[in-house]
């Protein structure tokens, strides 16, 4: 039997849409004031708790840094690439320390370690600049700095 009255269907559809959009909007609210919303949204996704979003950002930063390290290892061997690989290893260590700070509720330690992580990425860029060479990892280090910036933005207060 075909419904002559589509009111029931309309209410079900409307309720579903409201539930879905409120969940996304609530999670996305963590990124409202962040300048690079795409990066923030990729981390936050549907999370609504800043602490959970920060943990996710740390894990994403570790993973993406390992990916950047693999990309660096595939480049022709050079002093600059070796320095970047060491900087990526140092960044991973700092992010792990940041996670420990987050678990302990020490948000200053979290912020300090994420700042140190960003410096490692910047140092990779600087070594190429100092030698007057083009950085083949520039896109990777920019992406990593964007994730680290999002992490600092998500730090629970």
pTM of the model: 0.77
Note the pLDDT tens digit of each residue in 22-33. Answer: 444 434 477 777
* Of 95 and 149, the one with more pLDDT: 95
pLDDT in the model for residue 59: 92
Q: What is the DSSP string of 124-157?
A: HHHHHHHTT---TTHHHHHHHHHHHHHHHHH---
User: Is 141 in contact with 125 (CB distance < 8 Å)?
Assistant: yes
User: Is 88 in contact with 69 (CB distance < 8 Å)?
Assistant: yes
pLDDT at 12 over 80: no
């Amino acid at each position: 039997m075909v419904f002559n009255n589509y009111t029931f269907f309309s209410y079900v559809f409307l309720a579903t849409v409201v539930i879905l959009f409120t969940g996304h909007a609530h999670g996305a609210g963590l990124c409202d004031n962040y300048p690079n919303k795409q990066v923030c949204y990729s981390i936050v996704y549907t999370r609504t708790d800043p602490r959970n979003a920060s943990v996710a950002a740390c894990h994403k930063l570790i993973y993406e840094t390992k990916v950047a390290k693999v990309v660096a290892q595939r480049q022709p061997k050079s002093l600059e690439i070796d320095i970047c690989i060491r900087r990526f290893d140092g960044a991973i260590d700092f992010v792990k320390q940041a996670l420990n700070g987050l678990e302990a509720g020490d948000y200053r330690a979290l912020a300090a370690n994420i700042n140190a992580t960003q410096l490692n990425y910047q140092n990779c860029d600087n070594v190429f600049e100092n030698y007057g060479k083009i950085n083949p990892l520039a896109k990777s280090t920019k992406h990593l700095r964007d994730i680290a910036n999002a992490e600092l933005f998500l730090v629970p207060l």
